[in-house]
């Protein structure tokens, strides 16, 4: 959408100015009053800045410019519950409680045992009305419809895939698994390690590179990042390992930020590894730590160590990011799964493929 900023002495002047230039296709987005001058030699002047946007379709006779006051009034009305709607909701609730005694309690238990909470819980339960006795399947469906899966980057990975994430979340191991996955389908894969400041850190990835026969460049100084990219110019996919950083380690966070700024944005996907055993609140805190980076996708690691992917899904929903891969064991290269609806269904407790109603359907 195109935004236009117009400044004038008053709101009315700005509105008239915008109308004379753009006709009736303008809508007010926001306004701001400010003061100019007022220094030693200049007079104080009040100014109004209005941000407009243009609507494409020709305005109908009824169309008019919406003012901020009107928007506020509308919001106030929207917040006041309509008695008719409330009565209808009450009726539905009564019918449901009569028709399916106990399913709400079961629903609560399922969400609890899967650690599904916050905005994901709301999205799943909002308007959830089971239509038959297999309500667990309907619930799984509703849950799946909220989960994003990054099929595009799975199928067409960008040239640079950078893994970031807390210490021990599985970055290096996962990189070896991903590298092997794409090598198997004929892609030329190279590795770059930016994890250079810890004693012996690069040995782990170098061992994997040797085992999988992949070229590797270990960056020792920040200014070698460009050189490393140059060495990898013949590869289709270059996966970059980074150091795990604790929230208090701002120096290393800055260092990593500097190194990552050398990668071309359009060709780079930054992925965060998330331990599936972690609570959603902790994953969120870790994510906040990495906020300086534009994370595009998530990998859920250590699925084999938890009964449910629910905490991870709660977190992923709250940051609105898609799932790219899952890892389910320490074995390299085998213990990795491309994210899919069936992987998610298999990793929910008493839901999806693990629900009794689903099992009985399969039999
Ligand atoms: N059970 C299980 N263990 C895993 C999985 N992925 C990695 N690990 C183990 O987790 C430990 C840490 O893995 P790394 O790959 O070294 O983690 P990292 O994020 O690179 O760690 P740092 O480089 O120290 O930040 C290792 O013992 C791995 O074998 C997994 O999917 N399941
Ligand atoms: Mg590592």
Q: Is the CB of 37 under 6 A from ligand 1?
A: no
Does a structural domain hold residue 358?
no
3-state SS, the chain, equals CCEEEEEECCHHHHHHHHHHHHHHHEEEEEEEEEEECCCCCCCCEEEEEEEEEECCCCCCCCCCCCCHHHHHHHHHHHHCCCHHHHHHHHHHHHHHHHHCCCHHHHHHHHHHHCCCCHHHHHHHHCCCCCCCCCHHHHHHHHHHHHCCECHHHHHCCCCEEEEECCCCCCHHHHHHHHHHHHHHCCCCEEEEECCCCCCCHHHHHHHHHHHHCCCEEECCCHHHHHHHHHHCCCCCEEEEECCCCCCCCHHHHHHHHHHHCCCCHHHEEEEEEEECCCCHHHHHHHHHHCCCCCCCEEEEECHHHCCCCHHHHHHHHHHCCCEEEEECCCCCCCCEEECCHHHHHHCCCCCHHHCHHHHHHHC
237 close to 162: Cβ distance less than 8 angstroms:
no
Task: Give backbone dihedrals phi and psi of 249, rounded to 5 degrees, phi first.
Answer: -90, 70
Domain identity same for 283 and 203: yes
Does residue 361 lie within any of the structural domains? no
pLDDT of residue 66: 60
Pocket mutation for ligand 1, best pick of 171, 173, 242 (most atoms within 8 Å of C-beta): 173
Return the closest-CA partner of residue 108 out of 135, 85, 84. Answer: 135
Residue 137 CA to ligand 2 centre (angstroms): 38
Q: Is residue 118 part of a domain?
A: yes
**Burial class (CB within 10 angstroms; exposed 0-12, middle 13-18, buried 19+) of 75:** exposed
Q: Which residue's entry shows tokens 């020792």?
A: 220
Residue 130 lies in a domain: yes
Q: Let me know whether 223 and 90 are in one domain.
A: no
Q: What is the CA radius of gyration of the chain?
A: 27
* Residue span of the structural domain in which 112 resides: 83-144
- CATH code for the domain in which residue 267 is found: 3.40.50.300
Residue 192 domain-assigned (yes or no): yes
pLDDT by residue, tens only, the chain of 363 residues: 667 888 888 888 888 888 888 887 788 777 777 776 665 555 677 788 888 877 765 444 444 556 777 666 656 655 566 666 666 666 555 554 454 557 888 899 999 999 999 999 999 999 888 887 678 888 888 999 999 999 999 999 999 999 999 999 999 999 999 999 999 999 999 999 998 777 777 889 999 999 999 999 999 888 899 999 999 999 999 999 999 988 788 888 999 999 999 999 999 999 999 999 999 999 999 999 998 899 999 999 999 999 999 999 999 999 999 999 999 999 999 999 999 999 999 999 988 777 766 666 655
pLDDT at 236: 98
Query: Which pLDDT score, from 0 to 100, does residue 103 have?
Result: 80
75 and 93 part of one domain: no
Please classify residue 353 by burial: count the beta carbons closer than 10 Å to its beta carbon, then call 0-12 exposed, 13-18 middle and 19+ buried: middle
Same domain, yes or no: 273 and 223: yes
Which sign does the torsion angle of CA 192, 195, 196, 202 carry? negative
Compute the distance between CA of residue 150 and CA of residue 322 in angstroms, rounded to an integer. Answer: 5
| pLDDT attached to residue 362 | 57
Pair 22, 110 in one domain: no
Q: Is 347 in the pocket of ligand 1 (CB under 6 A)?
A: no
330 and 240 in one domain? yes
Residue in 170, 194, 197 to alter for ligand 1 test, most ligand atoms within 8 A of Cβ: 170
What is the Cα–Cα distance from 320 to 348, expressed in whole angstroms? Answer: 20
Q: Residue 360 falls within a domain, yes or no? A: no
CB of 207 sitting under 6 A from ligand 1: no
Give the number of other CB atoms < 10 A from CB of residue 303. 22
Q: Is residue 346 part of a domain?
A: no
Total residue count of the chain as it appears in this document = 363
Is ligand 1 within 6 A of the CB of residue 171? yes
Q: Are 125 and 111 in contact (CB under 8 A)?
A: yes
> Which of residues 79, 110, 132 is at a domain's end?
79
299 CA to middle of ligand 2, Å?
A: 15
Residues 92, 9: one domain? no
Q: Which two tokens stand for residue 286?
A: 């870790």
Pair (200, 326) in one structural domain: yes
Are residues 10 and 114 located together in one domain of the fold? no
Same domain, 131 and 187: no
- Is residue 167 lining ligand 1, measured as CB closer than 6 Å? yes
Contact assessment for residue 51 and residue 31, using Cβ atoms and an 8 Å cutoff: yes
pLDDT value, residue 33: 77
Among 79, 97, 114, where does a domain finish? Answer: 79
Do 72 and 188 have their domain in common? Answer: no
CA–CA distance, 47 with 335 (Å, rounded to integer) = 62
Q: Does residue 268 sit within a domain?
A: yes
Of 144, 167, 189, which residue sits at a domain end?
144
For position 291, what pLDDT does the model report?
86
How many C-alpha atoms does 260 have within 13 Å on its Cβ side?
Answer: 27
**One domain for residues 136 and 171:** no
Domain count, the chain: 3
297, burial (CB in 10 Å: exposed 0-12, middle 13-18, buried 19+): buried
């Amino acid at each position: 959408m195109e935004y236009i900023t117009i400044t004038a002495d008053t709101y009315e002047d700005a509105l008239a100015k915008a109308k004379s230039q753009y006709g009736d296709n303008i809508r007010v987005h926001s306004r701001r009053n400010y003061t100019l001058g007022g220094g030693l030699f200049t007079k104080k002047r009040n100014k109004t800045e209005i941000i407009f946007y243009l609507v494409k379709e020709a305005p109908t006779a009824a169309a008019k410019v919406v003012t901020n006051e009107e928007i506020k009034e509308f919001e106030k009305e929207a917040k006041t519950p309509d008695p008719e709607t409330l009565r209808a909701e009450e009726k539905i609730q009564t019918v449901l409680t009569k028709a399916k005694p106990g399913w709400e309690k079961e629903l609560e238990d399922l969400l609890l045992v899967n650690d599904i909470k916050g905005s994901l819980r709301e999205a799943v339960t909002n308007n959830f009305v089971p239509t038959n006795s297999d309500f667990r399947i309907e619930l799984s469906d509703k849950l799946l419809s909220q989960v994003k899966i990054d099929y595009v980057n799975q199928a067409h990975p960008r040239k640079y895939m950078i893994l970031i994430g807390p210490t021990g979340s599985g970055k290096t191991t996962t990189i070896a698994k991903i590298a092997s996955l794409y090598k198997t389908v004929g892609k030329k894969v190279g590795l770059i390690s930016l994890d250079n400041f810890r004693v012996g850190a690069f040995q782990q990835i170098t061992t994997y590179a040797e085992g999988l026969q992949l070229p590797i460049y270990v960056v020792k100084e920040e200014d070698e990042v460009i050189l490393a990219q140059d060495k990898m110019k013949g590869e289709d996919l270059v996966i970059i390992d980074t150091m795990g950083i604790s929230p208090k380690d701002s120096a290393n966070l800055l260092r990593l930020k500097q190194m990552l700024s050398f990668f071309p944005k359009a060709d780079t996907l930054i992925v965060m590894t998330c331990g599936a055993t972690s609570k959603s609140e902790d994953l969120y805190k870790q994510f906040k730590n990495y906020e300086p980076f534009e994370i595009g996708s998530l990998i859920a690691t250590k699925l084999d160590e938890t009964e449910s992917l629910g905490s991870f899904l709660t977190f992923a929903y709250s940051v609105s990011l898609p799932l790219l891969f899952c890892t389910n064991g320490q074995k390299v290269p085998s213990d990795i799964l491309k994210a899919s609806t069936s992987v998610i269904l298999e990793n929910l407790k008493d839901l999806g493929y693990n629900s009794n109603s689903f099992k009985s359907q399969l039999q």
